[in-house]
Structure formats: C-alpha cells, structure tokens
Amino acid sequence: MLEEEQLLELPAGADGETDLFEAGLDSMAVMQLIVVIEERWGAVLGAADVGRDTIGTPARMAATINARR
C-alpha cells in the first residue's frame, strides 16, 4: 500500500519488521498515510497513533489499524 500510494519506496527484501522511518517515511508521508488509512480501512488515527511504536513497521501499522477500526 505504501508503494501503491507512492508514499514510500521500500527497500528490496522489506518485510513486516522493516523500519519505515529508516526507509524514508517522513512527516509529509505520514500525513498522507493517515488519510489513506482512514479512506481504505475506516480507522481514525490520532496524534498518539503515528509514531515509531504504532506505525514504525508494517506489522505495527497493521496492528494499529486493526485496533482503531
């Protein structure tokens, strides 16, 4: 989804534990990501939901989305 929405180009071999911020996810992409998540999954994310602990890896992001749906 990150690549499809042109928010981030993941490195080769990226998996569920890839650090998205180290891969280049920046504040502008995070803002766009929040919109995409809300539109696709109906999950409403607040400021506390958009840090390394909550969306820092694909696995953490999926868990956060599921918790907010």
| Residue extents of the structural domains in the chain | 27-68
pLDDT band at 5 (very low <50, low <70, confident <90, very high): very high
pLDDT band at 25 (very low <50, low <70, confident <90, very high): very high
pLDDT, tens only, 38-56: 999 999 999 999 999 999 9
Q: What is the pLDDT of residue 24?
A: 96
pLDDT band at 14 (very low <50, low <70, confident <90, very high): very high
User: pTM above the 0.85 mark?
Assistant: yes
3-state secondary structure 5-53: CCCCCCCCCCCCCCCCCCCCCCHHHHHHHHHHHHHHHCCCCCHHHCCHH
